[in-house]
Structure 1
Amino acid sequence: MKRLVFTAAVLTVSALPALAQDFDLNALIEAAKAEPPITVYDSTGKIVDMAEAFSAKYGIQATGEKVSATAQLEMLIREHQSGNVLGDVALLTDTPAAIAQLLPTGVVESWVPPDLEADIPESYRNPLAISTNANVWAYNTEAHTECPIKNIWQLTEPEWKGRVAIIDPLTKGTYTDWFNQMATRGEEPLRAAYEAHFGKPLETDQPSAAAAWLAAMGANGPLVADGDDRVSEAVGAPGQAEPFVGLLSSAKFRDNADKGYKLGLCAGMEPWVGWSYTKLGLIATGTDSPSAAKLFIHYVLTEEGILPQMRDGKMPTSTKIALPADEPSGLAAHLDALFPYDAATGLDDWDTRQDWQDFWRVFYQR
C-alpha cells in the first residue's frame, strides 16, 4: 500500500497543466525564441531529422542526439546532480525507470500541452507518453501462405522447439516489463487462449499463467538474439525451408523493402498479435530553455513532428493522428489486438525486473 501511494504521488506532482483556454501557443513560441538552443535525446536516429525540422519550422535551434535508453538514464541523472544540464528533452522508452528513478527525484518533469491534452488518452498523460512501440509476432511469407502460429501456447509445443526467435530478456528491460504486465493484467486472456488451444483449463504450479507460458516457452529452446536485426533475419530471410517465427519490433518490417526479407504479421494470433511499450516525453528540470523544451514536446505530439518515427511503425498516442497507409507491417488494422503497456504498474515492473530475469535463467534451455 505504501508503494502504491508513492507511485500516485510521483505521477501527479510532475505535471500540473493549465486549462486549454488559457494556453497560448504563440506566446510559448516567442518565449522559446529568447532561450538558448536545446538538445533532445532519443534512442532512434530519426531524432536528428526531427530536431532539424523543428528548427526549420520555428527558427529555434534544436539538436537531436541518438542515445540509448540506458545511457539516457545515466546521463540525465549525472547532469542533474552536477547542475550541468546538456539534454533538455528526453524521449525515453524505459517508462518504469523514469517512474522509479527520474520523476520522484526531480531529474525530469512531465508536461502535457493543454491544447492537445484532450487528444491524449488519460492512461498516456501521467507521465506523458508521446508514442507506443510495438513488438509483434512474425512469420516468413515465402515459406507459409499464412502465419503457422494461431495461439501463443503453440510456441511451447515440440513442433516449435528451437524454431522461435526472440530478443534476450536479460538484455532488454521492456521484455521483463511485458512479462510482469502479462502476469498483472493478462491472466484471463492467457488462460482462455490455453483452453482454446489445448481443450482443457490451465493447471500449473506457477504463480500466474504468464509465468507458466514463459517457463514452457523457455524450456522449448528458443533462439535468443541480441537485437531485432538477428530476429528479423532468422524469420524473414528468403530461401529457408523451415524458417523461425519470431517476436520483433514492427519497425523491422522495413527489411522487406530494404533487404528483400519476407516478414509477415501473425494477424489473428491469440490472445495478442504482440505487445507495446511507451516512449515518454520528458523535460529536464534544470534546463535553461524550459519554453523551447515544452515547444518541442508540443511539436512531437503533432503529426508533422512524429511522422519520421511513424514511418518506422511507432504509433502516436494522440487519437488525432493515424498511422501512414504505407507503414510496412500492416499493424494499423490490428491495433486492438496488441497487449498495451499500462504505466499504473510501472513501479512494480521496475521492482520485479530482476525477479523475471532470474525466472528466465532458471527455465531457459539452449
Structure 2
Amino acid sequence: MIHKKRRNRICCFILVAAMFMAGCGKQEDCLSVWKESAHLKGDETEKELYQMALEEDILVVYTVSTRITKVKEAFEKTYPGLCVEIRDVRSPELIKAVKEHEASGRPECDVVVCNDNSGDFRQELVDAGYVVPYMPEDIADKMKKGHFGKTVSFLDEAEMLFYNAGKYMECPIQNIWELTKEQYKGRIYMPSPLRSFSTFAFCGMTTAYTEELEKAYQDYTGKQYNRKSECVWDYFWKCIVKNTVFTNSSDEVCEKLGNADGEADFGIMVSSKYRYKDIGYKIEPVYHLIPFSGCVTTYALMLATGSRNVNTAKLFIRYLLGGSDGRGEGYQPFCTLGTWSARKDVADGNPVPMEEIDLIQTDVQYLIQNRKSIEKFWLGLLAEK
C-alpha cells in the first residue's frame, strides 16, 4: 500500500514539474495542482517521507541563517542518499529570488528560512502565496501558542541592546534616553534599519510606544516631554542617530562591540549573536532598561510553493523542527545563547526567559500599514548622517 501511494505521488509530481516547465497556461492552475499533489496535511511518517524523498533531486534551501549548514550536514548523515544545497542570502535578496524564479515558471527553491519581522516577508511571500506552511501532525501540538498559522515560526530571538562587557562590569545605563549622551557619540553601533529587517522592526515598533518613550524621557530629564515640538519617537531617533555608527548587519556590530579594541560601548543587534560569547566575544545583553531594550523577532520556516522536491522538503522541515520528540539534531544548532525555543517541550537556549526581559512585541501588520512613513523618516534621517 505504501509503495502504491509512493508511486502515485511521484507520478503526480512528475506531471506537475512538466506543467511548470511548459509554462502551464495559467500559473495559478499549476500552483493549485501542486498544492493538491504536495499533500500538506502533515500525516506522513518519517519513514514514508524518506522513501519518497529518495526518488527526488537535490533539496535547495534559501536561508538567512548560517546555522542551517549544520542542519544540512546532520540531515545528510541521518538520511543517506539525500543531498541538500544551501543558499545563504540576505532577506531582501531571498525574497527577490523566490519571486523571480517562481514567476519565470521554473521554481528553484524548496525550503525558505527567513526573518519574519518587518512585514516584507509576510506581505511579499506569505500573503502572495509564494510560500506555504507545513507542520507535521505529531509536532503541531508541541509548538508554543502563536508559532504555527499562516507561517511556521520555528525560533524566537530579539533585536536588542548589548553593551561592551570588556569595558563595563555591568550595563552603565538604566534608561534608553541615556544613549543620547554626548559621551556615547560614535560609540553606538547598529545595522541600518533600511538594510536589516530585524532592525527595521525595532525602529518601526517604537513609533507605537509613544507614551512609554515620553514617560522614560520624563524619568530621565525630570521634565515632561513637549508634544507640540515633534513626536517623541521622531526626536528620540534623531538624538540617537547623532551618536550612532550604522553597519550593514548584526555581524559587523558584534565585531565592533566584542573585539579586544572595544570600538563600541553599545550595539543594537539580533540576540543570537550572544552565542559568540562562548568563543571570547565580550558582549552582554541589556535585559532591563526603561522603557524597553529591544523587540521580539522570529524566524519563519516555510515550504516553497511549486517545490519539485516536496517530500525531501517536508522531511527537512520535520528534521529542523527537532522531530516528534524535539530531541533531533536539526533543532540543536538553534538552541544557543540569545535564542528562545518555539516548542513547549524544548528548553530555551537563553538562560533568561523572554518574558522577563524588557522587550516590546513586533506587530507585523502595524509595520506593513505604516511602512511608507517609517521608510520615509529613515531615508531622510540617514541622508543627513
Give the letter for the 2:240 counterpart. M
2:207 matched to which residue of 1?
A: 183
Q: Distance in 2 between matches of 1:283 and 1:151?
A: 42
What is the SS of the residue equivalent to 1:123?
Answer: coil
2:299 matched to which residue of 1?
A: 279
- The answer to whether residue 177 in structure 2 is matched with residue 153 in structure 1 is yes
What is the SS of the residue equivalent to 2:137?
Answer: coil
| 1:133–1:333 CA distance, 2 compared to 1 (3 A) | closer
Contact 1:163 1:223 in 2 (8 A): yes
Q: Distance in 1 between matches of 2:373 and 2:144?
A: 27
Taking structure 1 as the reference length, the TM-score comes to 0.80
Of the three residues 105, 109, 122, the one matched with 2:128 is 105
Contact 1:28 1:295 in 2 (8 A): yes
Give the letter for the 1:318 counterpart. R
1:7 matched to which residue of 2?
A: none
Structure 1 residues without counterparts, runs of 5 or longer: 1-12
1:3 matched to which residue of 2?
A: none
Of the three residues 39, 50, 73, the one matched with 2:60 is 39
After the TM superposition, which residues 110-189 of structure 1 pair with which residues of structure 2 at under 5 Å, given as runs? 110-125=133-148, 126-184=150-208, 186-189=209-212
Give the letter for the 2:99 counterpart. I
Contact 2:198 2:270 in 1 (8 A): no
Q: Distance in 2 between matches of 1:127 and 1:346?
A: 17
2:269 matched to which residue of 1?
A: 248
Q: Distance in 2 between matches of 1:319 and 1:342?
A: 22
Q: Distance in 2 between matches of 1:308 and 1:226?
A: 24
Q: Distance in 2 between matches of 1:353 and 1:295?
A: 39
| Same amino acid, percent of matched pairs | 23
Q: Distance in 2 between matches of 1:146 and 1:336?
A: 16
Deviation at 1:24, TM superposition (A): 4.7
Deviation at 1:89, TM superposition (A): 0.3
Q: Distance in 1 between matches of 2:188 and 2:299?
A: 27
Of the three residues 50, 61, 73, the one matched with 2:95 is 73
Give the letter for the 1:301 counterpart. L
| 1:88–1:266 CA distance, 2 compared to 1 (3 A) | same
Q: Distance in 1 between matches of 2:65 and 2:78?
A: 21
Contact 2:154 2:301 in 1 (8 A): yes
Of the three residues 284, 291, 299, the one matched with 2:319 is 299
Contact 1:153 1:213 in 2 (8 A): yes
Contact 2:202 2:294 in 1 (8 A): no
- The answer to whether residue 341 in structure 2 is matched with residue 316 in structure 1 is yes
After the TM superposition, which residues 195-214 of structure 1 pair with which residues of structure 2 at under 5 Å, given as runs? 195-205=218-228, 208-214=231-237
Deviation at 1:108, TM superposition (A): 1.5
* Bigger radius of gyration: 2
Aligned length: 341
1:216 matched to which residue of 2?
A: 239
| 1:159–1:337 CA distance, 2 compared to 1 (3 A) | same
Contact 1:176 1:357 in 2 (8 A): no
Of the three residues 107, 110, 135, the one matched with 1:88 is 110
Give the letter for the 1:226 counterpart. N
- The answer to whether residue 287 in structure 2 is matched with residue 288 in structure 1 is no
What is the SS of the residue equivalent to 2:93?
Answer: helix
Give the letter for the 1:92 counterpart. C
Deviation at 1:340, TM superposition (A): 3.4
Could you say what the CA RMSD is over the residues aligned between the two structures, in angstroms? 3.2
Give the letter for the 1:236 counterpart. G
Of the three residues 264, 283, 301, the one matched with 1:263 is 283
What is the SS of the residue equivalent to 1:192?
Answer: helix
Which sits farther off after the overlay, 330-339 or 84-93? 330-339
Q: Distance in 1 between matches of 2:164 and 2:372?
A: 37
| 1:120–1:257 CA distance, 2 compared to 1 (3 A) | closer
Taking structure 2 as the reference length, the TM-score comes to 0.76
Q: Distance in 1 between matches of 2:44 and 2:271?
A: 36
Q: Distance in 1 between matches of 2:46 and 2:215?
A: 49
What is the SS of the residue equivalent to 1:305?
Answer: coil
Which sits farther off after the overlay, 275-284 or 104-113? 104-113
Q: Distance in 1 between matches of 2:381 and 2:154?
A: 31
Deviation at 1:41, TM superposition (A): 1.4
Which sits farther off after the overlay, 283-292 or 135-144? 135-144
Q: Distance in 2 between matches of 1:110 and 1:49?
A: 22
Q: Distance in 1 between matches of 2:294 and 2:338?
A: 13
Deviation at 1:61, TM superposition (A): 3.0
| 1:236–1:337 CA distance, 2 compared to 1 (3 A) | same
Structure 2 residues without counterparts, runs of 5 or longer: 1-34
Q: Distance in 1 between matches of 2:51 and 2:373?
A: 45
What is the SS of the residue equivalent to 1:180?
Answer: helix
Q: Distance in 1 between matches of 2:52 and 2:380?
A: 51
2:72 matched to which residue of 1?
A: 51
Deviation at 1:283, TM superposition (A): 1.2
